[in-house]
Amino acid sequence: MSSLPADYLEYPLRRHGMDHDRYDWTQLHQRRGVAWPGGARIALWITVALEWFPLDMKGQPFKPPGAMQTAYPDLRHYTLRDYGNRVGIYRVMQALQRHGIRASAAVNAAVAARYPSLLRDVCDAGWEIVAKGLDMDHLHHGALPVEEERALIARTLEILRPAAGGAVRGWLSPAKSESHATPDLVAEAGLDYLCDWVNDDMPYAMRTVTGALGNSPAHYQQPPGHGSAAGVQPGRGLVAMPHPIDLDDHTILVQNHHTEDDFRDALTDQFDLLYREATPANGRVMAIALHPWVIGQPYRIGALEEALAHIMRHRGVWAATGAEIVDAWKAQQA
């Protein structure tokens, strides 16, 4: 029987936590509590995805959720996505307005260019605009050269910021797909928070590169100990927000083929447990991800309305945008 080589267990990032230094690894119950405004126990954060899927999309390096499925021209799926931006979104807006909820709209830049009246309506409702990339056929991924990704982010913000009156502070990558450099490029572009990482119930600080970016992720391979990896610093201010992939209408209703009642129950069950865990001195974020072409259907919108009624009848629920939650969280981290 051969023995293991002497260096088998030698791994520079083998330690308590993760094999990168993007953030300080901590368990939620060990952190200092966060008090939301007005003594709220729950910060309710609703994001509504306004997306554009090109009819001739390439689907590289993979097809994102909602992509075209059949041979070109796939009008069956294209027009359903279009339904969300023309019809379904207004049902969602009305449902939220009844409860005084302002959402964060995660917007492809192509939507701002193709549906300018929709962006005006969203802004007039007091919603926040979060950047969601150029469109759903321009994905961020590990094989994408850094300069191309930087240009994609710049072009996205160049289109969205004027449409949003200049205030775009959050980023959600199309399909939540990132390269090694995405957090660095998002911070470099002046954005405050990132919605791609789904490993927490609360915001947390991320480290980003402060120097020039190359095409290699080599700076993530440095032994970090418990401090910063080479070139990665904690002072850039980028915050990871708890944006869900499971508490998502597309995941539950389309991908998992659950019923509308199941979707309503998932939202209320999530809320009930977070509400029990939270206190006015130690709050939680309840994040819900919506797609108007899914939940905006006449037979589905009632499930959302019932869940919102359940949530908003509780005391201590602060319905806020992502930027408002980040600001409240940051104010208590000094």
pLDDT mean for each 10 residues of the chain (334 residues):
73 70 88 96 98 96 96 96 98 98 98 96 97 98 97 98 92 97 96 96 90 39 32 62 96 98 98 98 98 98 98 98 97 88
Residue 85 DSSP symbol: I
**299 closest CA partner among 228, 256, 249, 242:** 249
Query: What's the pLDDT score for residue 136?
Result: 98
Query: What's the pLDDT score for residue 215?
Result: 40
Asked if the structure places residue 79 within a domain, the reply is yes
Asked if the structure places residue 4 within a domain, the reply is no
Question: Which residues have CB under 8 Å from 219's CB, separation 6+?
Answer: 209, 229, 230, 231, 232
Question: Which residues have CB under 8 Å from 200's CB, separation 6+?
Answer: 28, 240, 242
Bridge partner list, 128: 104
Over the range 188-202, which residues count as b (16 or more CB within 10 Å of their CB) and which as e? beebbbbbbbeebeb
Length of the chain: 334
Query: What's the pLDDT score for residue 216?
Result: 37
Residue 279 DSSP symbol: B
Query: What's the pLDDT score for residue 125?
Result: 96
Q: Where are the alpha helices (DSSP H) in the chain?
A: 75-83, 89-97, 109-114, 116-124, 146-163, 182-188, 249, 260-277, 292-295, 301-312, 322-330
Asked if the structure places residue 105 within a domain, the reply is yes
Q: Are 205 and 183 in contact (CB under 8 A)?
A: no
Quote the CA–CA distance of 227 and 23 in Å, as a whole number: 10
Peptide bond preceding 223: is omega within 30 degrees of 0, i.e. cis? Answer: no
Give the 3-state secondary structure of residue 275.
helix
Query: What's the pLDDT score for residue 210?
Result: 56
Question: Which residues have CB under 8 Å from 305's CB, separation 6+?
Answer: 95, 98
Query: What's the pLDDT score for residue 219?
Result: 39
Asked if the structure places residue 187 within a domain, the reply is yes
Query: What's the pLDDT score for residue 149?
Result: 98
Q: Render 91-139 in DSSP notation, one character per residue.
A: HHHHHHHTTTPPPEEEE-HHHHHH-HHHHHHHHHTTPEEEE--S-TTS-
Domain that holds residue 111: 38-330
CATH number for the domain that contains residue 56: 3.20.20.370
Quote the CA–CA distance of 168 and 218 in Å, as a whole number: 30
For the chain, the domain total comes to 1
Query: What's the pLDDT score for residue 9?
Result: 72
Cα dihedral sign, 167-125-48-316:
positive
- Residue type for position 302: G
Asked if the structure places residue 179 within a domain, the reply is yes
Model confidence, pTM: 0.90
Asked if the structure places residue 111 within a domain, the reply is yes
Asked if the structure places residue 5 within a domain, the reply is no
Asked if the structure places residue 7 within a domain, the reply is no
Structure tokens at 21: 């230094």
